[in-house]
DNA sequence: GGCTCTCTTTGCGCGGCAGCAAACAGCAGC
DNA sequence: GCTGCTGTTTGCTGCCGCGCAAAGAGAGCC
């Protein structure tokens, strides 16, 4: 297996404040693994044997309800830690992660975690920040679902996606991985039918351009106003 | 100010793995503060000057939306850490905390946090677990709000309240702080009217007994079946 | 005790959105 | 090119739960 250069991870928030030698030391324990599109990286309720840093690609993380419905927890972009079940006191993964495009991740065995944070407490501090910001995202989502109706929730979801995974193209900002109406529906607690209707309406108004598994935001500001409850 | 004995905090998860002398050292930097019923402990968007451990009482933590609606994030019970904004990389509080009964908390200045975790990395690790379990709660809530209808969400909310703040009484389990229909509505993303209707129906069926700012669960199992989607 | 304030209950009507159904359109594979 | 699959669009119907309104009931206070 090709060894990973430290410069690849040096700027990631997780490793902020660590010395080059410490990075090398951490990398020595990691494996770099390829996950072709469609592959499952880990499965909900399975033993949390590893934790990960995504080097390349995009993952879709979702929870499955007892009655078989899926809820998208988030999409993971390159540079993010994920699967840190052990760190938050779990022995199994709370969700399933699937590669939506060909992806590459660094993989550490979970059993190494206690030793790593004992040796590099900065890791725990950085992870705390990461988990904390995810907690805030989750709360923001709870607030949205409690108080906003569907159209505004969808607007918020798209803006968030654009912010973390947007790619600038001529016409606007495109979400740079394949995403279906069903995905957006599972992020916002609605149905693909409703998402389709809303996107069609926006397309007519020129806010977005969308196609099969593809969404481009043409008028981010208009969408923002709509998300905040204004009448654009 | 009366100094706090270490035995009061020795068994709290936050301080797990710390030696008695370390506890004393931490306590020396803390103040014990009383918050009479109705008092605001901290306010959303205010400078996060302190973090806290609740010694006695109950707090209601809520977020205010731009249009003035409240969403209850959680209720804090004795023994829990709260207001750890600084630890998760914020400079302001993301929500407001109000005492729903007379309460007492230990208060540390936020500026001490970096020094404290540098000296006691265990604190960061323990906080990570706490924040992690809150993240899971938040995600569970997102899943519920996405996939369940109101009655089941209310059932889940009550069961969760009973679990963390239930007091066993003759007839069943009572939520041991004053809680209104409005509160339950703001936890589940519905209206006090609907909560009232649902509770009335349950009362008729004998699942719960409720009065003014008071809810007692008589048939936890029945409620559980209902929450999980069965027909009790 | 009586007053007032806050919390709760209940009825009624409407609307947003889900659920169902069926047609349509990219895209891949042969 | 054709075929099949998966994702998308759109119409229609029904109903859950919100919004409004108004009455009822505890609890605190003087």
Question: Each residue of B153-174: pLDDT tens digit?
Answer: 999 999 999 999 999 998 899 9
Residues B37-48, mean pLDDT to the nearest whole number: 96
- Residues A209-225 have pLDDT tens digits of 999 999 999 999 999 99
Q: Does residue B232 register a pLDDT over 80?
A: no
Q: Contact A94/B228, CB-based, under 8 Å?
A: no
The answer to whether the beta carbons of residues B71 and A148 sit under 8 Å apart is no
pLDDT of residue B170: 87
Q: Does residue A1 register a pLDDT over 80?
A: no
When pLDDT is cut at 50, 70 and 90, the band that residue B120 belongs to is: very high
pLDDT of residue A170: 87
Residue B51 CA to residue B159 CA, distance in Å, equals 28
pLDDT of residue A138: 98
- Average pLDDT of chain A is 94
Nearest Cβ partner for A121 among B121, B146, B229: B121
A213 touches strand D (CB under 7 A): yes
Range list of β-strands (E), chain B: 31-35, 40-42, 50-56, 58-64, 70-77, 81-82, 96-99, 103-109, 166-168, 173-175, 208-211, 214-217
Q: Tell me if residue A71 falls in helix, strand or coil.
A: strand
The answer to whether the beta carbons of residues A98 and A58 sit under 8 Å apart is no
In this predicted model, which residue has the larger pLDDT, B6 or A97? A97
pLDDT of residue B2: 55
When pLDDT is cut at 50, 70 and 90, the band that residue A171 belongs to is: confident
Q: Contact A189/B229, CB-based, under 8 Å?
A: no
Q: Which domains does chain B have, with CATH numbers?
A: 7-137 (2.60.120.10), 148-227 (1.10.10.10)
Residues A89-96, mean pLDDT to the nearest whole number: 97
- Average pLDDT of chain B is 94
Task: Quote the minimal CA–CA distance from B78 to chain A in Å.
Answer: 21
Q: Contact A65/B147, CB-based, under 8 Å?
A: yes
- Residues B54-87 have pLDDT tens digits of 999 999 999 999 989 999 999 999 999 999 999 9
pLDDT of residue B231: 67
Which residue numbers of A have CB closer than 8 Å to B's CBs?
63, 65-67, 69, 71, 73, 87-90, 94-95, 117-118, 121, 124-125, 127-129, 131-136, 138-139, 141-143, 145-147, 186, 188-189, 228-229
Residue B83 CA to residue B87 CA, distance in Å, equals 9
**Could you tell me which of A69, A63, A117, A128 has the C-alpha nearest to residue A92?**
A63
The answer to whether the beta carbons of residues A35 and A57 sit under 8 Å apart is yes
Nucleotide nearest residue A150, measured CA to C1': C17
When pLDDT is cut at 50, 70 and 90, the band that residue B88 belongs to is: very high
Q: Does residue A192 register a pLDDT over 60?
A: yes
When pLDDT is cut at 50, 70 and 90, the band that residue A120 belongs to is: very high
Other Cβ atoms less than 10 A from the Cβ of A91: the count is 10
| DSSP codes, B81-101 | EE--TGGGT-SB-SSEEEESS
User: The tokens of A25 are what?
Assistant: 């030391």
Q: Does residue A2 register a pLDDT over 70?
A: no
């Amino acid at each position: 297996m090709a060894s990973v250069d430290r410069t690849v991870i040096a700027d990631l928030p997780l490793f902020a404040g660590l010395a080059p030698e410490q990075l090398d030391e951490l990398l020595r324990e990691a494996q770099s693994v390829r996950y072709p599109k469609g592959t499952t990286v880990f499965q909900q309720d399975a033993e949390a044997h590893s934790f990960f840093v995504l080097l390349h690609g995009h993952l879709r993380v979702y929870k499955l309800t007892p009655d078989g419905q899926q809820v998208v927890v988030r999409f993971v972009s390159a540079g993010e830690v994920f699967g840190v079940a052990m760190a938050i006191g779990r022995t199994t993964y709370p969700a399933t992660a699937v590669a939506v495009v060909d992806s590459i991740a660094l993989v550490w065995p979970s059993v190494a975690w206690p030793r790593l944070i004992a040796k590099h407490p900065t890791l725990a501090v950085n992870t705390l920040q990461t988990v904390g910001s995810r907690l805030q995202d989750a709360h923001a989502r709870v607030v949205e679902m409690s108080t906003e109706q569907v159209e505004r929730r969808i607007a918020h979801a798209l803006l968030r996606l654009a912010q973390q995974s947007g790619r600038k193209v001529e016409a606007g900002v495109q979400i740079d991985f394949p995403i279906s109406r069903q995905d957006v529906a599972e992020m916002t607690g609605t149905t693909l039918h409703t998402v389709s209707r809303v996107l069609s309406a926006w397309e007519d108004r020129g806010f977005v351009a969308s196609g099969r598994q593809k969404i481009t935001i043409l008028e981010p500001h208009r969408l923002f106003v709509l998300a905040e409850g204004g009448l654009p």
